[in-house]
Amino acid sequence: MSLDPTTAPLGRAGDPDLPIVDAVVIGAMEEEVRPFLAPAAQAGADVGAGHARARLVALGDTRVLLVRSGIGLVNAASATVHALTTVRPRAVVSTGSAGGLAAVVRVGDVIVGDDYTYGFADATAFGYVRGQVPGMPVSYPADADLLGLARAGVLGDGTLRVGQMLSGDSFVTAANVTEVREAFPSALSTDMESTAIAQVCHSFGVPFLSVRGVSDLCGPAAGEDFHLGVDEAASRAAAVVRAVVGA
């Protein structure tokens, strides 16, 4: 069966008629998916899907649908749904950059999420937990097997840290960092896509993991450390992602 995403039949996620790939790897920006193109033995056509772009790549014997979703929760969720109705992956992995939130995090570290929630979702007035979307779980755990593979990944510079990731369409700045840290004391990082992708994967029963390189720090500490380019932060994350997907 052809693995060309342009000819794959559409249907529900997990449809046995969809072509199988080893993983769907999703980055928000071109800089975040580029590290997977240079080592690719083969790369299919760059195909548009709404705001997103997708192409099939071969990393050795590993077949990956590489998706550039665009920035933000809605772009990430819609790109994930499209991917899951185009191919049948064994896993979905979010990759790219993030802001370091916890005091122990440094620029250049790579964060592997073991739990994902929304940093700015607040329906506590109606009895929900902070970060919880009404009617959905409080948070979304990472797939245990993928998490184990990430822990075993080799990282050149920086530190590999495992913990909670937050996502939202608002930046964490000096004005709100204290409140966010108090609400989520275990959170290591914040980005604009991971939890939306995790929610879609939860809904469709697909294993998920997010791996992010820290490009800058949130809050007052942001001016106390150098900023790492998105391309370099994404490259560090990609090295771990490749270990996770077996590439």
DSSP conformational letter for 138 = S
- How far is Cα 191 from Cα 246, in angstroms, rounded to an integer? 25
Tokens of 238: 């990609």
Contact 152, 174 (CB under 8 A): no
Residue 68: strand pairing partners = 27, 53
Contact 24, 241 (CB under 8 A): no
Greatest Cα pair distance in the chain: 53
Helix (H) or strand (E) holding 42: strand 42-43
Using CA atoms, how far residue 238 sits from 33, 68, 101, 114, 119, in Å, is 8, 14, 20, 17, 24
Cβ count near 226 (within 10 Å)? 9
Cα-Cα-Cα-Cα dihedral of 243, 232, 95, 110, to 10°? 70
Residue carrying structure tokens 């979304």: 140
Residue 20: strand pairing partners = 88
Tokens of 159: 């530190």
Residue carrying structure tokens 């993928």: 146
What residues are labeled active site? 32, 216
